Amino acid sequence: MSLDLSDRKLAGKKRGLDHLLSAAGYSLGGFRRMLGETAFRHELAAAAVVFVLFALRGAEVASYLTQGVLILVLMACEALNTAIEIIVDRVSPEISEFARHAKDLGSFAVFCLLAANGAYAASVLIAGA
């Protein structure tokens, strides 16, 4: 006998517009939480500076869009890195190799995206890509 779960509604599960509004609220809560992170605030400030420099350089719309996507991916990675750090601190409050490796890997992922953002911004500002 198989169970068809497609017709079953889970108790308290929101659907439609309620689900969309709840998801938006959770995302806003995550953004507010990230504003408490110094690195995230620095990345926001750097993004603003890059866009001002693009404007002064007369960058193409495609350059703004590409940089914008890179910045959003960086912010998402920073949020995931923060989540990893929070979970690791909860699971392994003592100093451990496991915790160090998890945090180092998250940090490396953020570094890679910082490098990609910097390289792209430099290519637009220097070469006029």
- The encoded tokens of residue 14 equal 């929101």
Q: Within 10 Å of residue 83's Cβ, how many Cβ atoms?
A: 13
Q: Catalytic residue, from 60, 78, 94, 97: name it.
A: 78
71-108: pLDDT as tens digits: 999 999 999 999 999 999 999 888 899 999 999 999 99
Helices (DSSP H) in 1-129: which residue ranges?
16-34, 38-57, 61-91, 97-122
Which residue positions form the known binding site for a divalent metal cation?
37, 85
Angstrom distance (rounded) from CA 78 to CA 108: 11
Q: What length does the chain have?
A: 129
**CATH for the stretch 37-127:** 1.10.287.3610
11-44: pLDDT as tens digits: 568 888 888 898 999 999 999 999 999 999 999 9
Q: Within 10 Å of residue 12's Cβ, how many Cβ atoms?
A: 5
78 is known as an active-site residue: yes
